[in-house]
Amino acid sequence: MYDYLIVGSGLFGATFAYLANQHGKRCLVIDKRNKLGGNIFTKFLHGICVHQYGAHIFHTSDVEVWNFVNKFAKFDNFINSPLAIYEGQVFNLPFNLNTFNRLWGTVTPQQAKEKIAQQLASVSQENPVNLEQQAIKLVGEEIYEKLIKGYTQKQWGRPCDKLPSFIIKRLPLRWTYDNNYFSDTYQGIPSNGYTQMIENMLKGIEVRLNVDYFDFIKLNKNISKKTVYTGMIDQFFDYRFGELEYRSLRFDEQTFDTDNYQGNAVVNYTSIDVPYTRTIEHRHFSKESCSDKKKTIVTFEYPQNFNRLHNDPYYPICDDANNGLLAKYQALQKAHPNIIFGGRLGEYKYYDMDKVIKQSILAWNQEKMLLQD
Ligand code: FAD
Ligand code: UDP
């Protein structure tokens, strides 16, 4: 019998497994995929570290989390400075004085603020109730139309007035010439990829891949004292109140015979007329990793409707309807005190990597307290 059966080898599962193992607990990690790491899985192709499930840039302001990941990987300094292309014009992200200068020729923060204020004069934006209102309030009509509306509609598969406002608040708005997409204290990418980082976390812990929890548990009912579950919470409860909505992605990975396809790691295509949202050129994540100078790998991200029989859930759609449904599932959790639900899918939260690690550390600390009682 194991102390913990850990369902999912992503960041939540791996963090928990590492901490429990350090405290002498016997863990078994299972994953239904044939690879470790969940969505942070990376592989090397032509000497280039490829982020198979989308660009993953580690960023955090939490020193405990930063110290934690640095135990398992050497991080290369990387500042994410994506570009946005709209009808052939290139803009800097996040929205900052470079973006405003390109759009309007404004130079100072004051000039840019005045330009945005003029666009707000005709719209009432007291209390934004959806993403559209929130975006216009922050950056005005023109940026909304050119850089937000099309991208967001593609990304989420619904219009901006049907989306919660918090999504757009993920993007900083800067009154400086700073193209750093994130505002956190620490930022970087593991030199040898995330998969190696996860392997280091799981050293000495039993892992079984290609194992689906729902099949496995039928045959191994009493395999552990507790279970850490990082799959979809609605699936755990057999969708009894209905399905939570997720957004999926299709990653089209292409190899080109050049050492530089787009000149930047991340390029966003913000027009609704371009079917993909972003293109990721992986070699730009690391200056050193590319041994093959003649090849480059580019992933085109196509947002998709989620269908549990055909593709994977990548983004929870945390609007009021889904949050209401989530609350019903969370109420059922009380009847399962030996199951710890964690991570993006287990908690149905739009978490970044650092938040997932933090939640997992908190979950383990909670366990430690229970074990001491
Ligand atoms: P996951 O990585 O999804 O792991 C869950 C694991 O559980 C999976 O391996 C799955 O196969 C397994 N599983 C599920 N159900 C079962 C089952 N029934 N049986 C067995 N195994 C099961 N965050 C950042 O901080 N920076 C970024 O730049 C960034 N970019 C992102 C880009 C994209 C396109 C996406 C989708 C996410 C991005 N994130 C980023 C978020 C980041 O991926 C997540 O925060 C993190 O990977 C979630 O870890 P997790 O362990 O909760 O879930
Ligand atoms: N967004 C946008 N235009 C862009 C980039 C982002 O409108 O060029 C909006 C979009 O709604 C997106 C949200 O900002 O869903 C959050 O962007 P982020 O880059 O954080 O998304 P993620 O990396 O999680 O896909």
Residue 338 gets which letter from DSSP? T
Residue-wise pLDDT for 141-157, tens only, equals 999 999 999 999 999 99
The DSSP code sequence of 187-206 is: EEEETTHHHHHHHHHTTTSE
| Token pair recorded at residue 293 | 């100078």
The DSSP code sequence of 21-60 is: HHTT--EEEE-SSSSSSGGG-EEEETTEEEETTS---EEE
Residue-wise pLDDT for 83-116, tens only, equals 999 999 999 999 999 999 999 999 999 999 999 9
- State the ligand closest to the CA atom of 29: 1
Rounded to the nearest angstrom, the distance between the alpha carbon of 278 and the centre of ligand 2 is: 10
Residue 165 gets which letter from DSSP? G
pLDDT of res. 290: 59
Owner of token pair 């003649």: 294
- Spacing of C-alpha 172 from chain mean position: 16
Q: Is the CB of 64 under 6 A from ligand 1?
A: no
| Token pair recorded at residue 245 | 């909505």
Pocket test for ligand 1, best of 30, 278, 344, 364 (most atoms within 8 A of CB): 344
Q: Produce one character per residue of 342-369: b if its CB has 16 or more CB atoms within 10 Å, e if not.
A: bbbbbbbeebbbbbbbbbbbebbeebee
Query: What pLDDT band is residue 287 in, cutting at 50, 70 and 90?
Result: confident
- The protein residue with its alpha carbon nearest to ligand 1, atom 21, reads 31
- The protein residue with its alpha carbon nearest to ligand 1, atom 7, reads 8
- State the ligand closest to the CA atom of 28: 1
Q: Is the CB of 55 under 6 A from ligand 1?
A: yes
Q: Measuring CA to CA, how many Å separate 35 from each of 7, 43, 95, 256, 259?
A: 13, 10, 37, 25, 28
pLDDT of res. 127: 84
Span 242-271, average pLDDT: 97
Measured distance CA(209)–CA(35) in Å, rounded: 7
Q: Is the CB of 182 under 6 A from ligand 1?
A: no
Measured distance CA(42)–CA(35) in Å, rounded: 10
Instruction: List residues with catalytic annotation.
Output: 170, 174, 247, 278, 301, 350, 352
Q: Is the pLDDT of residue 125 over 70?
A: no
Q: What are phi and psi of 288, to 5 degrees?
A: -95, -25
Give the rounded percent of residues in the chain with a pLDDT score beyond 70.
Answer: 98
Span 214-240, average pLDDT: 98
pTM across the whole model: 0.97
- Closest CA relative to residue 136, chosen from 151, 120, 150: 120
- Cβ neighbors of 170 (< 8 A, separation 6 or more) are none
pLDDT of res. 113: 95
Pair 160, 153: CB distance under 8 Å:
yes
Pocket test for ligand 1, best of 34, 39, 247, 354 (most atoms within 8 A of CB): 39
The ligand 2 atom nearest the CA atom of 149:
7
The ligand 1 atom nearest the CA atom of 214:
18
Span 32-56, average pLDDT: 97
Cis before residue 94, ω within 30 degrees of 0? yes
- Closest CA relative to residue 130, chosen from 105, 154, 158: 158
Q: Which of 262-271, 292-301, 335-344, 347-356 has the lowest mean pLDDT?
A: 292-301
Ligand 2 pocket: which residues have CB below 6 Å?
A: 84, 93, 147-148, 151-152, 155, 167-168, 170-171, 268, 270
Pair 316, 344: CB distance under 8 Å:
yes
Pair 96, 113: CB distance under 8 Å:
no
Query: What pLDDT band is residue 12 in, cutting at 50, 70 and 90?
Result: very high
Rounded to the nearest angstrom, the distance between the alpha carbon of 197 and the centre of ligand 2 is: 26
Going along the chain from its start, the domains and CATH numbers come out as 2-75+185-243+317-372 (3.40.50.720), 98-167 (no CATH)
- The protein residue with its alpha carbon nearest to ligand 2, atom 12, reads 152
Q: What is the number of other CB atoms lying within 10 angstroms of the CB of residue 370?
A: 10
Q: Measuring CA to CA, how many Å separate 354 from each of 71, 162, 186, 275, 343?
A: 14, 28, 11, 30, 11
Pocket test for ligand 2, best of 162, 165, 167 (most atoms within 8 A of CB): 167
Q: What is the number of other CB atoms lying within 10 angstroms of the CB of residue 168?
A: 24
Residue-wise pLDDT for 309-321, tens only, equals 999 999 999 999 9
What average pLDDT does the structure give for the chain?
96
The helix or strand, by DSSP H or E, that contains position 302, with its residue range, turns out to be strand 296-305
